[in-house]
Structure formats: C-alpha cells, structure tokens
Amino acid sequence: MTMSAFNKGPAYGLSAEVKNKIAQKYDPQKEEELRIWIEEITGASIGPDFQKGLKNGVILCELINKLQPGSVKKINQSALNWHQLENLTNFIKAITAYGLKPHDIFEANDLFENGNMTQVQTTLLALASMVRLTQPPSTSTASVWRGSTPSGFLVSSSLLICLGQITSKRLSSDDTS
C-alpha cells in the first residue's frame, strides 16, 4: 500500500469540518462566469463538469498562452496522469511568472484530485482580475473586454475607477497650488 492511500478516505472531526467550510465557499455562479470567460479566450469547450474539463491542464495552458504567448512551451495531450500533472504544474509556474501571488494559487492536486475547487476558483478569479487590470484590449484578449467577465473583475474595475478619480483630484489640486 502506498503512502497516498492513507490520505484517501473520508474526513472526520476537524478535517471534515474544514473540508465542508471550504466546499461551502465554492460559488457555482462564479464557476459559470469563469467557464464563459475561459471558453471565449481559448475557443475550447470545458464541458459540463468544470473540474473534469480542466483536470488535464490543457485548457489552462492554452488560456495562459493566449494571455501571455509562449508561457507554456509544451502542452501534453496525453491521458497519462503525470503528463496531466505536468500541464498543471506548468500552468502554475506560468501564472506565477505572470504575477499572481502565491497565496492566490492552487496546488495541482487541488484540481487534479478535486481536493479544493474553491482554491482553483480563487486562482482563476485572481487571474481574470489581473488580466482585466493589466492588459489593454487586444485581438487576443478581446473577449475579456466584452463584458462577460467573472464578477471578480467588477469590484476591481470599480476600485480602479475610484482610484483614478482620487488620483485625478490630487493631480488637479497639486496643479492649483
């Protein structure tokens, strides 16, 4: 029996409580918004099961390559588990290089083993928000700017507008003094 076999099985006590709290934070509406956003950018269909559609890492690697061309040099199309995990690891490295903070990023097994889809959702929302804030509209990311964006952007863009207004007021008051 392998060591990982001991980690499978149902959770009890505090572990079960933590697992349930994490699962309760998962938002099906945000999943749908992310699905639309990812499918528009990549042109690939995730399918009816979000976790299974992203599990092999292919669509995620295609996503980051659309946002930052050349981020993932080789995308494995193989059904072998280690190739799929390699895709997820390459995606995680690419979004780290893209600028996502480590605390926002899921671990490969969170998605691969359906361990913490809330963290996967958090990562993808953070990526979507970063794209919205850092990339000007272009042909490769035009769908990001059409309005069908994850709700995570809406707060960020409102905040940016607010910050922009504050900055403008400060700049204009500095000019008058």
Per-residue pLDDT tens digits for 26-84: 899 999 999 999 999 999 999 999 999 999 999 999 999 999 999 999 999 999 999 99
Task: Give the angle 12-2-112 at the CA atoms, nearest 5°.
Answer: 70
Give the model's confidence band at 134: pLDDT under 50 very low, under 70 low, under 90 confident, else very high: confident
- Is position 5 within any domain? no
Q: d(Cα 116, Cα 139) in Å, to the nearest integer? A: 33
pTM of structure:
0.69
- Asked whether residue 154 is assigned to any structural domain, the reply reads yes
What CATH number does the domain containing 144 carry?
1.10.418.10
Q: Is position 7 within any domain?
A: no
**Would residue 14 count as lying in a domain?**
no
CA distance 115 to 42: 25
Instruction: Give me the phi and psi of 108, to 5 degrees please.
Output: -50, -40
Scanning the structure block, which residue is given the tokens 């905040």?
A: 159
Residue 104 lies in a domain: yes
H-helix or E-strand containing 34? Answer: helix 28-42
Name the more confident of 153 and 118: 118
Confidence band (pLDDT; 50, 70, 90) for 145? Answer: very low
For residue 32 the two structure tokens come to 């749908």
Residue 143 lies in a domain: yes
Residue 98 located in a structural domain: yes
Is the pLDDT at 173 greater than 60, yes or no?
no
Q: Which domain holds residue 108?
A: 22-176
Q: How many domains does the chain have?
A: 1
Which tokens sit at 170?
């400060």
Does residue 35 lie within any of the structural domains?
yes
